[in-house]
Amino acid sequence: MTGLKTIAVAMSGGVDSSTVAAMVRAEGHNVIGLTMQLWNQRRLAGREGMPEQVTGRCCSLDDVYDARRVAEHIGIPYYVVNHEERFEREVVRPFVAEYLSGRTPIPCSLCNNHLKFDQLLVVAQQIGADCVATGHYARVEYNDARGRWLLERPADRSKDQTYFLFGLSQDQLSRTLFPLGGMTKPEVRDLARKHGLALAEKPDSQEICFVPGGDYKLFIDAYLAERGESLPDTAGELVTADGEVIGEHHGIHNFTVGQRKGLGVATGSPLYVIQINGADKQVVVGSDDHLYSRTLRGHRVNLISVDNLREPMRVAVKIRHRHEPAPAVLEKIAGDEVLVTFDQPQRAITPGQAAVFYDGEIVVGGAWIA
């Protein structure tokens, strides 16, 4: 980094982004702390299945309080920006709609694409910042030879968040800093302690931020009830891979590919959800073997390290956040659609999740699994 910049830090009130703020501040940059108010936890509190008290982590007043205290401690201006409307439109509603059509969504990627690296970048620019720094574990750097901004895996593999960042455009990457890319989590906590941050020991957040307790089904019920909408009837048949009807289910949104529990049928050998057919509301079950597949189709592809896929490319593909990238061939089939052919069949390729393509450390790009 050359010269001093004005940097907006996206502060969530957690250890990572707080440490980022302290780091860039210590480097002498002009730093502005921003917290995005994305979801009002009190909206659904007390509804059936939802906790009476606000317990979720997202945008809780406690987190804003923590972020504000950090900003004050390190001596930077701090503001909360309200993006609740957009978050609901771009993240929450699609999240609900995806489940109701039998897919398994990743709200974090939507949030990154439509809020953190879109709206927040706009606000940051408007208020005079050159770029936005976040607490994501990933690296971004400009590659002269390729003439492109590259997204790369971080030093701490266990914290790798590149899977959620595959949707970033070149423009977005050019104005983004990931100061934690070269650090491990314990190093980050150490640094937080060195900067005297009171939240250095604060536990990591794990669950989907706006779903209290992690039960998305209860969230969907409460959300639709709050909006005065009824849960669409997606009940239907439980069928085997051969088309034999072996039971009924109460709604396709209760299932995820690979799921074993809660099928409501007892058979000799373990049964898994192998496919969900949104159109005819069928949940297809089968043995573990049926879960394996060698190919996947991805759509709405976003390419980062290359500008186009002119010929098939050897990559490693990650099909869910906790998945070791598996060797595969990536090829374009039409427009923004790609075909991934794995060397070895992969278990539980799940529509709605992302397939992210890696070339060693480098993120080639990603697509949504169709």
Partner 1 sequence: MMRRIYLDNNATTPVLPAVLEAMRPYFGEHFGNASSIHHHGQETRAAVERARDSVAALLGCRASEIIFTSGGTEADNLAIAGLTSPGDHIITSTIEHHAVLHACKHLEETACDVIYVPVDGHGLVDPDDVRRALRPNTKLISIMMANNETGVLQPLEEVGKIAAEADAYFHTDAVQAAGKVPIDVSRIGCDALSISGHKMHAPQGVGALYVRKGTKLQPLFYGGRHERSRRAGTENVPGIVGLGKAAELAMQRFECGDDSRMCALRDRLQQGLLAQVEESGVNGLGAPRVPNTSNIYFDHIEGESMVIALDLKGLAVSAGAACSSGAIEPSHVLTAMGLRKHRAHASIRFSLGTQNTGEDIDVALALVPETVARLRELSPVSKKQAVTY
The Cα 293–Cα 21 span in angstroms is: 44
| Residue 59 C-beta: closest distance to partner 1, Å | 7
CA distances from 67 to 34, 35, 62, 175, 191 (A): 9, 8, 9, 22, 16
Residues at the contact surface with partner 1, assessed by CB under 8 A:
32, 35, 37, 59, 61, 64, 68, 77, 79-82, 84, 122-123, 125-128
Which residue's CB is nearer to partner 1, number 77 or number 360?
Answer: 77
Distance CA 221, CA 230 (A): 8
Report the C-alpha gap between 210 and 39 in whole angstroms. Answer: 7
Work out whether the CA dihedral 242, 246, 247, 253 comes out positive or negative: negative
- Say which amino acid occupies 367: A
What does the block give as tokens for 293?
């597949």
Give, in degrees to the nearest 5, the angle at Cα 182 between 359 and 124. Answer: 95
DSSP 318-351: E-STT---EEEEEEEEETTEEEEEEEEEEE---B
58 is a catalytic site residue: no
- Pick the closer one to partner 1 by CB: 58 or 291: 58
Give whichever of 37 and 277 is closer to partner 1, judged by the CB atom.
37
Q: How far apart are CA 136 and CA 16, in angstroms?
A: 8
- Which residue out of 58, 108, 131, 209 is catalytically annotated? 209
Active site residue 209: yes
Question: Which is catalytic among the residues 58, 108, 111, 131?
Answer: 111
**Nearer residue to partner 1 within complex by CB, 84 or 331:** 84
* Residue whose CB is less far from partner 1, 129 or 273: 129
Residues carrying an active site annotation:
111, 209
